Amino acid sequence: MSPIRKIALRRIKQAPIKHLLLFAAILVSMMLISMLVFFSAETILRQNLAEKELPLSSFLQTVRLCITVAAGFLVLCSAIMIRIHIGLNRKQNEQLLAVLTSVGASPAQKKAFPFTQLQLIYAPAALCGILPGSLLGVTLGRRFLGTLGALISPAPSALLYLGVLLAQVIVGVGITALCCLLPQITFTPRSVISALKRQNPRAAVTSHSYRQSNTFKQKSLLRRLAQKSVDYSAPTYHTISLSFSISAFYPILMLLMMWHLLHVKVVLDANPFDGIETTGAVVSAVSHLFLCLGIFFLLLTLIGLASAWLMVRLQYANRRAAGKTYFSIGMDNADFRRVMRHELQTLILRSAIVLLIGTMIANTAFLMCVGG
């Protein structure tokens, strides 16, 4: 086995929970995206063209648009999640690549490391999620059309499904590969030297920046210390707050989608000959879809929260270790706890702001596509 592969495998063994969570997150995300894509494909391929001008068609179109918006946000969230994971190991990876450079690894051999990670975790997780997701999407699509009482066309050629599946695999694995590889193959010679000296250039920059605004000076000492700490560990705090925001964003995305779908009843009620009378019919039509979405979004939220919790624990341990410096200059434990509380407040505030902005963007996207 090549040394690069050995290193990648041992890293997985050393931190199994972290890698398992990442695998699960990519798997569930891909399954969900694949389910949504195939649900839309099934409703397009099986819908009878004779119904094209009826309000039912307009409802189907709205559902598909909602699903497209949700899938788009899911792709974005998955990309950010992979990027977060790569970011967590950035320092470790930089040091590895720097050592490999110093012992004479060729550029191709250095690039082999992220490719091996892609082979071992990212690509298998994406592939494992796509097939079951697509089957579930097709089943839900058929059930949805059946509940609505739509005229169903005969099943199209299996080749067509295979084509959609292939496109899904290419796009899914392609996006995963891009998110995984891009941040890792852009190391500069400066980062190699810095990593060899065990200096984190980003931390060095933030540690040397200092605030001198009056607002900052007027804050209490403990708040200023907390602010300094947040500045110093900026990449870690950004990552944690982003991770929390994304975890909380999944149920919000689900709720927004439900909200917008349940508000299209007017279109259906407009034509009594469709045989669909009330909102209840719409709810029953989309209930299975929502049940599946609910399970998936819940899983993604739990996985995201677990990852964020792991990061918080790691940062807490780092801060406890750093606390020795404060204690050595006479700060008591209660004050140190207050500093930590201020840091936590900043973290929560940042997560809430990111979540709020994300929700507003998602809501606007739904309004634009579905029509408010």
Partner 1 sequence: MLHIQNLRKTYPTTDGEIVALDNLSLVVNRGDFVAVVGRSGSGKTTLLNMIGGLDTPDSGSVMVDGIDMVRLPPKRAALLRRKTIGVIYQFYNLIPELTLRENITLPTELDGREIDEERLDHILSVVGLKGREGAYPDALSGGQQQRVAIARALFGQPSLLLADEPTGNLDAENSREIMRLLTMMNQTYGITVLMVTHSEEAAASAGRIITMADGRIIDDRRR
Task: Provide the binding-site residues for partner 1, judged by CB under 8 A.
Answer: 2-3, 6-7, 10-11, 14, 95-96, 98-109, 189, 192-193, 196-198
Indicate the burial class of 150 (C-beta count within 10 angstroms; 0-12, 13-18, 19 or more): buried
Q: What is the closest distance, in whole angstroms, from the C-beta atom of residue 120 to partner 1 in the complex?
A: 13
Other CB atoms within 10 Å distance of the CB of residue 71: 18
Side-chain-facing half-sphere of 73: CA atoms under 13 Å: 25
Nearer to partner 1, 80 or 193 (CB): 193
* The residue to which tokens 């496109």 are assigned: 167
Measured CA to CA, the distance from residue 7 to residue 15 in angstroms comes to 13
Secondary structure tally for the chain: helices H, strands E: 15, 0
In single-letter form, the type of residue at position 310 comes to: L
Nearer to partner 1, 1 or 321 (CB): 1
Q: What is the closest distance, in whole angstroms, from the C-beta atom of residue 7 to partner 1 in the complex?
A: 5
Q: What is the closest distance, in whole angstroms, from the C-beta atom of residue 4 to partner 1 in the complex?
A: 9
Nearer to partner 1, 97 or 246 (CB): 97
Nearer to partner 1, 96 or 362 (CB): 96
Q: What is the closest distance, in whole angstroms, from the C-beta atom of residue 205 to partner 1 in the complex?
A: 12
Measured CA to CA, the distance from residue 303 to residue 252 in angstroms comes to 16
Measured CA to CA, the distance from residue 333 to residue 353 in angstroms comes to 30
Nearer to partner 1, 97 or 282 (CB): 97
Nearer to partner 1, 104 or 330 (CB): 104
Q: What is the closest distance, in whole angstroms, from the C-beta atom of residue 67 to partner 1 in the complex?
A: 43
Q: What is the closest distance, in whole angstroms, from the C-beta atom of residue 263 to partner 1 in the complex?
A: 54
Nearer to partner 1, 98 or 145 (CB): 98
Which are the contacts of 148, defined by CB distance < 8 A and separation ≥ 6? 56, 59, 60, 276, 281, 285
Q: What is the closest distance, in whole angstroms, from the C-beta atom of residue 198 to partner 1 in the complex?
A: 5
Indicate the burial class of 111 (C-beta count within 10 angstroms; 0-12, 13-18, 19 or more): middle
